[in-house]
A and B are shown apart, each in its own frame.
With several copies, the nearest count.
Chain A
């Protein structure tokens, strides 16, 4: 189980490759990997978005994401989970969040991946501020 808070742009696919290389005990044990990557779009709510700042509560963020991962591990039969979440200034097309789940089985991988991203969105203390042609605005929650 690994949680990384990234202050710089990251490559989600390279993160997965590195994680798998660094966890040789996973090899041959997982039949299923389910992955979600959330990426910054260049439009939102009808306006072009030029840049974004992702503020977070650093000391709480890691703890909250680790709790979410631990809940996923206790609920589904999964072998490992990796979360990388960006913070700070972002540009369009930058990955914001990566959730990857390894399991022997497809159902557990999908369910746990979905659970982690859904919980992240409602519990992890991040706040998005967008920069549009009309100025800055805080993104409203769903």
Chain B
């Protein structure tokens, strides 16, 4: 049995893959999935979703789950913050 792993945006680019499949054996949490598939430390602010619901690296993973890793989201409109309001 396997876990489906998905990577998006800058994380996808850095790892050079958008999807992976890892064996469930030895997997307890999303952090284990990351370690198994990525092999490098997770970037700060990495977001996690399990079966399309927000979760965390500590969240338990069950056999057959889809586990996704991605950077902070940037949808909606472009740059709505007034740059003059920044330091």
Interface residue ranges, A against B (CB under 8 Å): 31-32, 37-41, 44-46, 49, 52, 54-57, 59-60, 63-64, 77, 85, 96-97, 104-108, 117, 120-129, 138-142
Contacts and interface: CB of A to CB of B under 8 A. Distances in A.
B74 A140 contact: yes
B70 A142 contact: no
B78 interface: yes
Interface of A is mostly: mixed
Interface in B54-87: 54, 68, 70-83
Interface of B: 6, 8-10, 49, 52-54, 68, 70-83
B9 A55 contact: yes
12 contacts: A31-B77, A31-B78, A38-B77, A49-B78, A52-B78, A63-B52, A106-B80, A121-B75, A121-B76, A126-B73, A141-B72, A142-B80
A32 B77 contact: yes
Given A60-B52, A105-B82, A125 B73 contact: yes
Contacts of B71: 127, 138
Contact of A40 (B52, B78, B82): B78
Nearest to A58: B52
A140 B70 CA distance: 13
Contacts of A107: 80, 82
B49 A57 contact: yes
Closest 6 CB pairs of A and B: A38-B77, A126-B75, A127-B9, A121-B76, A106-B80, A60-B52
Contacts of B73: 121-127, 141
A91 B77 CA distance: 13
A127 to B, nearest CB: 4
Given A96-B75, A96-B76, A142-B81, 9 more contacts: A41-B78, A49-B78, A96-B78, A105-B79, A107-B80, A123-B73, A124-B73, A127-B9, A127-B75
